[in-house]
């Protein structure tokens, strides 16, 4: 893996959320009123959730960890006195990162704010700034890296490796309580592929579970199903939103 893991200007030794349950977790996002450009920051969070949300879902209401977003002028700490040139800084304290976004920048386009927010969220998840000769990363300061609005596949694979995962996606057969299930299916309304099935004897076409998607689950027996928020199953057909 060529992507550097862990560390920022403020806390170079940080290395992801520790300890982690090895399955899936919520991360609470707290956006202070001092932050400007909330829409761009919201888009950055959404794009990260699309990429890693099956394992690390950033939500506003609760979580095992908290990312706090704060707005500060270049003349205020932690920008001043040594980092007043920066547009944003991630400070990593006891596994609960604080992301500071400059409030006194002029002439910055919307996509640049999205890129900036997404870059700092990458630090909060355990990624360091990317090597200068490789631009395939939201963590790169190279021109092409600054045009990205979402984490790249390399970014996602690197976070998976950091936490000892083969992949960031969650497959149906990896769920707790799957022994109580005979089938999972859902309608892929985004890609128009119709009903997609998973069964224990045939992996089918549901290759990974997507946060906020609705699924139907056919249970053989009463039990719990899930990684993050277990669903209580009753025998027969159950509707389940994978959160």
| Residue 241, pLDDT score | 82
The Cα–Cα gap between 154 and 130 comes to 11
User: Would you list the DSSP string of 202-240?
Assistant: B--S--SB-TT-EEEEEESSSEEEBSSSPEEE-SEEEEE
CA atoms of 36 and 44, how far apart (whole Å): 14
Structure confidence by residue, pLDDT tens digits, 186-220 = 866 666 666 778 888 876 678 888 887 888 999 99
**Residue 43: beta bridge partners?**
none
Of residues 62, 67, 72, 176, the one with CA closest to residue 126: 67
> Residue 9's pLDDT is what?
54
The widest CA-to-CA distance across the chain, in whole angstroms, is: 63
End-to-end CA distance of the chain: 29
Coil, helix or strand for 88?
strand
Instruction: Quote the pLDDT of residue 1.
Output: 44
Q: Specify the fold of 25-162.
A: Collagenase (Catalytic Domain) (3.40.390)
Question: Whole-angstrom Cα distance, residue 171 to residue 146?
Answer: 32
- pLDDT of res. 69: 96
**Alpha helix (H) residue ranges in the chain:** 38-52, 110-124, 143-147, 153-162
181, 218 Cβ separation under 8 angstroms: yes
Domain residue ranges of the chain, discontinuous segments joined by +:
25-162, 172-241
The Cα–Cα gap between 58 and 49 comes to 7
Q: What is the pLDDT of residue 112?
A: 93
pTM of the predicted structure, to 2 decimals:
0.87
**How far apart (Å, rounded) are the C-alpha atoms in residues 59 and 45?**
9
Give the number of C-alpha atoms closer than 13 A to the C-alpha of residue 119, restricted to the C-beta side. 27
Report residues of the chain scoring pLDDT below 70.
Answer: 1-19, 93-94, 131-135, 187-194, 203-204
């Amino acid at each position: 893996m060529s992507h550097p893991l862990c560390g920022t200007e403020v806390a170079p030794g940080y290395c992801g959320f520790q300890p982690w349950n090895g399955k899936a977790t919520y991360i609470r996002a707290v956006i202070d009123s001092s932050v400007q450009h909330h829409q761009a920051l919201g888009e950055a969070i959404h794009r990260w959730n699309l990429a890693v949300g099956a394992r690390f879902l950033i939500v506003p209401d609760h979580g095992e960890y908290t990312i706090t977003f704060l707005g500060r002028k270049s003349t205020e700490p932690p920008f001043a006195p040594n980092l007043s040139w920066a547009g944003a800084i991630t400070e990593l304290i006891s596994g609960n990162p604080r992301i500071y976004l400059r409030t006194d920048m002029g002439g910055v386009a919307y996509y640049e704010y999205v890129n900036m927010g997404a870059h700092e969220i990458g630090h909060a998840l355990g990624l360091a700034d990317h090597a200068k000769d490789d631009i395939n990363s939201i963590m790169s300061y190279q021109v092409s890296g600054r045009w990205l609005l979402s984490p790249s596949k390399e970014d996602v694979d690197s976070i998976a490796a950091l936490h000892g995962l083969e992949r960031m996606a969650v497959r149906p057969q990896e769920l707790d309580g799957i022994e109580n299930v005979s089938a999972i299916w859902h309608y892929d309304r985004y890609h128009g592929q119709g009903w997609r099935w998973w069964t224990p004897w045939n992996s089918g076409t549901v290759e990974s579970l997507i946060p906020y998607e609705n699924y139907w689950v056919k249970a053989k027996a009463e039990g719990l199903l899930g990684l993050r928020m277990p669903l209580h199953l009753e025998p027969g057909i159950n509707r389940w939103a994978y959160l």
